[in-house]
Amino acid sequence: MSRSMPSSPASAAHAIRSVDDAGSTSALLGEAAVLIWNDVAAEGRMQFYQWHDKQHIPERLAIPGFRRGRRYARPGHSPEWLTLYEARDIDVLTSPDYLARLNTPTSLTRATLPYFRRTSRAVCRVVCTQGSSSGGHALALRLDGDAAAEEGFVNHVSTEAFPRALGQIGIVACHLFASDRRGSFIDTAESRTRQFDVPAWVILVEATTAAAAEAARQQLDLVSLRERAVRLRDDAAVYTLEICRLGNPNG
């Protein structure tokens, strides 16, 4: 299956992390992540929930280095679901253990993935993370852009946009992810089952209320983001947490 190729974004090896007044560090549980957006054909919805809740998330969290899996939903929006897997580092997401799972999908995985529609999937590095709590709602923005604009964009997000958002009641964490070209485009048995695209950047704002997450759009100043040679997709949305599962912290 074909996948659209983004320009190569950030190559930062270390995330910009904040420490709050209590000394706590990032709300994220690692330096890397996999983010997946998707719709599901109507006839496959119940099978999707059975597979994702009972098999897929536990299977992923059993892989060494996978720290946490979360799935969010926004009924009526497209894409309807957002899944976030946090990993120790980017090497976990190209490791033999992970690739073995991607190349030997279960029978239920093979039966479920054809129901996926409008899929985005990005293996990402954490470029900037601020805030130390997880919220039940998340504003998710996918962006495409020019790698040449990387430094100015990251600086704007980390020094202006995120601190401004975190100053608002209900906003508890902000994260900037950059897709890793090599990890996102590895050819596997699973990747060949469906078409997907890879956004260059992802911004995720975690909030305690849906209203706070919606208000974060204004605090991020999306006009300023566009002025920095990044293109915001028109399907940004606030998603609500459906399921959260922890992996082995020592894995």
* 3-state SS track over 226-248: HCCCEEECCCCEEEEEEEEEECC
Specify the higher pLDDT residue, 3 or 161: 161
Calpha distance 24→84 (Å, rounded): 22
Decide if 199 contacts 120 (C-beta within 8 A): yes
Neighbours of 158 (CB within 10 A): 20
Write the burial class of residue 84 (CB in 10 Å: 0-12 exposed, 13-18 middle, 19+ buried).
buried
DSSP 194: S
Longest dimension (CA), the chain: 49
Q: What pLDDT digit, counting tens, does each position of 156-195 carry?
A: 899 999 999 999 999 999 999 999 988 888 888 888 877 7
pTM of the model: 0.89
Decide if 174 contacts 132 (C-beta within 8 A): no
pLDDT-derived band at 196, boundaries 50, 70, 90 = confident
- For residue 6, pLDDT over 50 is answered with no
What are the residue ranges spanned by the domains of the chain?
3-246
What pLDDT is attached to residue 2? Answer: 35
CA angle 86–210–49, rounded 5-degree value: 55
What pLDDT is attached to residue 189? Answer: 87
What pLDDT is attached to residue 184? Answer: 87
Q: What pLDDT digit, counting tens, does each position of 197-222 carry?
A: 899 999 999 999 999 999 998 888 77
Class of domain 3-246: alpha beta
What pLDDT is attached to residue 146? Answer: 67
